[in-house]
A and B are shown apart, each in its own frame.
Chain A
């Protein structure tokens, strides 16, 4: 292998990219991490819920710099407002709580601060970071390396690297550069809208509202956001409604069983995004290239949560690449399939299983039955006995 400018060039400094960068740099790889944004995480396209376990497993401190509020459990509602509560302060009072020696179950983070924090940790580990730098293409070379084309403050730059890591999120272009099948079905991408609001009380729980009436194809949520703020949002599947998410969110706030609770809501921020309730990409690698995080659709198909899976996937990708590059193994002609195999056994197989459960629910055309199934599945999913607790 000829000398290259970097061992890894990572496109996208979201949670997946920065986590990959941090572990890779710590092990001594030469890493360049680029992001086209001027301020990471902004505009926010995320509700920011992540488990304490998810942070810990990826070696991330629960740092006040990025935490909005600690979370102690879940409340899942059916369409009419009946609820199942899993409050870990009551379920496991010795472990979870706000008192001394106890910990939260998870956190709601501020993505602007979270992403910046993770980038900083990568930089401190030795990663070189370039903001305002967009990845525009890549080209595997006959010598076994590849070149990556970047545009930085209007300047075109081409660099050589051993591996390109596509961590460029749901709108990923890197996979498309390599000709991978990245297209997501319209029946599996929820269009989401959320408001950060003042004047709505919360109780340290992530609240999930099911029911076709409020969020056809998806669900609605109310999350605590710290400082007495809350977030109200929902996602809908376009083929199940002829109205946009905005219309459904207005309806949810004005007509649902929560209308009194929301009566004094004052909107502080408006955010949105697409959430894939879909399977991981079948092929997440190409010559000199692997995908991680949303770009590989490493997203929980039931909850749409992708933060835990992004940082867990980042660690898996880095651990794999460290070994693979140190051993001087080939990087082309299918050699990087080994990455996907590791990912599948550590995380992916469970996600495929969740996808199966999710698909069964949404293939049921009887709305009342489907609502019932979704409520039961969500209620079970967040219970302490769930087999998927660690995703």
Chain B
């Protein structure tokens, strides 16, 4: 499982029924959740077991693979524009 490439999950909110099944099956540490009682969608999952995708009753979770240790793009704030 852990040999998988990390993934970033995406939830089709239009179909999501906030049932929480994805969180219930998720083997991640505490806190890998979104404010809508789903698995987190704002940071990569390094386990990538994809169990959440298979349990989702309305099949609304997808993922994209992300590179390991993506350099975080620095947030550039141009003070002259503010």
Contact = CB atoms under 8 A, between A and B. Distances in A.
Interface of A: 43, 45, 136-137, 169-171, 173, 176-177, 183-184, 186, 189, 191-193, 238-239, 244-247, 270-274, 276
A274 B59 contact: no
A244 B18 CA distance: 15
Q: Main SS of the interface on chain A?
A: mixed
B33 interface: yes
A343 B33 CA distance: 30
Contacts of B23: 171
B21 interface: yes
Contacts of A271: 17, 19
A184 B17 CA distance: 21
Contacts of A244: 56-59
B30 interface: yes
Contacts, number: 75
The 9 A-B pairs of least Cβ separation, nearest first, read A274-B21, A272-B19, A245-B57, A176-B30, A238-B54, A244-B59, A171-B23, A274-B24, A193-B57
A276 B21 CA distance: 10
Nearest to B49: A186
Contacts of B42: none
A45 B27 contact: no
Contacts of A193: 17, 19, 57-58
A191 B18 contact: no
Interface string B10-48: 000000011111011101011101000100000000000
B20 A191 contact: no
Interface residues of B, number: 21
Interface of B: 17-21, 23-25, 27, 29-31, 33, 37, 51, 54-59
A155 to B, nearest CB: 16
5 contacts: A176-B30, A272-B57, A272-B58, A273-B19, A274-B24
Contact of B57 (A169, A184, A246): A246
Nearest to A170: B24
A169 B20 CA distance: 10
Contact of B21 (A43, A191, A270): A191
B17 A192 contact: no
A239 B55 CA distance: 9
A192 B20 CA distance: 11
B55 A43 contact: no
Contact of A274 (B33, B55, B58): B55
Contacts of A186: 25, 51, 54-55
Contacts of B30: 137, 173, 176-177
Contacts of B54: 186, 238-239
A193 B59 CA distance: 11
